[in-house]
Amino acid sequence: MFATLEFEGQLFMTPYDFIQSVTTDEPRWAKQRRSLTKQELNQILLETPPVWKGSSKLFRNLQEKGVISYTEYLFLLCILTKPHAGFRIAFNMFDTDGNEMVDKKEFLVLQEIFRKKNEKKERKGDEEKRAMLRLQLYGYHTSPNARADDITSLLSDTTLLVHFFGKKGKAELNFEDFYRFMDNLQTEVLEIEFLSYSNGMTTISEEDFAHILLRYTNVENTSSYLENVCCSIPEEQGITFDEFRSFFQFLNNLEDFAIAMQMYNFANRSIGQDEFKRAVYVATGLKLSPHLVNTVFKIFDVDKDDQLSHKEFIGIMKDRLHRGSRGYKTIQKYTTFKSCVKKELNSR
């Protein structure tokens, strides 16, 4: 849906395409795929910055000047939902020889395995057995580097490969650079979503925050959740970017939070705002602001008892983690007269 480049029969995304794929419901306009020449590809890769020049504006700065393969798309999607505590595990998965550095061959081999794993999810039964047989024949589990040479010869260089391993592919990636790249990517996508609603302001409305939360879920009756916010928070205080970012960092730790919630459930304790804040802190080390927690409770407190139905909350938020890997659903936004006036004033 989003890939706009083609080279030697293989589809590629630009960095701008990737941003669109995870921040919009569908491509904003129909766009024919452009075939790249070898010279054009080389020029794009020549302008790719090294990893030490990375920032939370990398993809926005590159825009159309970059190529992202399908396996890299899967890798980047995975990054968006990985907790910071999992960055070391992800790095160690690539670092097959345990030397605290990842080279290009190690990166390509694990990417290929990652692609096979994704294919197996889509094709059950015999196809899964054939994929596993291919993995065994190529010796992934015993000698990754033996297959890496074959993979390298089949794939063109991409923006991500040049960014990580240099134009000659000889550089190695350390954990600090890997961590910074993953953190920057998460921050960049969140900044884009936040700025798309803030209209140049330092905050977004509580209603907009609810809309962002619900837009990638399978919730059918979203208007009731959005109406909860408008009725329960009559005076807008707004959600800052720091609050916004901390909440989505928390969502990436949802499994640990679910365990903490189960402990309350076993003790037959209701889940109020203080209990919610404590569970988030224990599970993730993040301190959510009282206003942010209150806003979350107003969104999901359907029966107006100031208690959180944590099973429903966790179920909806888990569904949201599949963003980018399935179809999207446009949500009808509940709009108040006040929010309409505010947005109209901000647009002038």
pLDDT per residue as tens digits for the range 275-331:
888 888 888 888 999 999 988 888 877 667 676 666 667 777 766 555 544 444 444
Based on the fold, state whether residues 169 and 204 are members of the same structural domain. Answer: no
Based on the fold, state whether residues 67 and 110 are members of the same structural domain. Answer: yes
Based on the fold, state whether residues 169 and 203 are members of the same structural domain. Answer: no
Q: Please say which residue of 156, 173, 190 terminates a domain.
A: 173
Nearest to 165 by CA among 107, 104, 90, 101: 104
- Split at pLDDT 50, 70, 90, the class of 146 is very low
Domain extent for 209: 199-346
Q: Is residue 245 part of a domain?
A: yes
In whole angstroms, give the CA distance from residue 54 to residue 185: 10
Percent helix, strand, coil in the chain, to 5, is: 60, 5, 35
β-bridge pairing 203-204 and 239-240 = antiparallel
pLDDT per residue as tens digits for the range 204-229:
988 889 888 887 676 666 777 777 77
pLDDT for res 153: 40
Q: Is residue 188 part of a domain?
A: no
What total number of domains does the chain contain? 2
Q: What is the DSSP letter of 6?
A: E
Based on the fold, state whether residues 156 and 204 are members of the same structural domain. Answer: no
Q: Is residue 133 part of a domain?
A: yes
Q: Is 297 helix (H, G, I), strand (E, B) or coil?
A: helix
Based on the fold, state whether residues 208 and 161 are members of the same structural domain. Answer: no
Cβ contact 240:288 at 8 Å: no
pTM assigned to the model: 0.76
Q: Is 328 exposed, middle or buried (0-12, 13-18, 19+ CB in 10 A)?
A: middle
Q: Is residue 144 part of a domain?
A: yes
Based on the fold, state whether residues 152 and 263 are members of the same structural domain. Answer: no
In whole angstroms, give the CA distance from residue 295 to residue 308: 11
Q: Is residue 220 part of a domain?
A: yes
Cα-trace Rg, the chain: 22
Cβ contact 188:227 at 8 Å: no
Whether the per-residue pLDDT at 93 is higher than 70: the answer is: yes
Based on the fold, state whether residues 238 and 132 are members of the same structural domain. Answer: no
Cβ contact 92:136 at 8 Å: no
Q: Is residue 231 part of a domain?
A: yes
Q: Is residue 181 part of a domain?
A: no
Note the maximum CA span of the chain: 66
Based on the fold, state whether residues 154 and 203 are members of the same structural domain. Answer: no
Q: Is 286 helix (H, G, I), strand (E, B) or coil?
A: coil
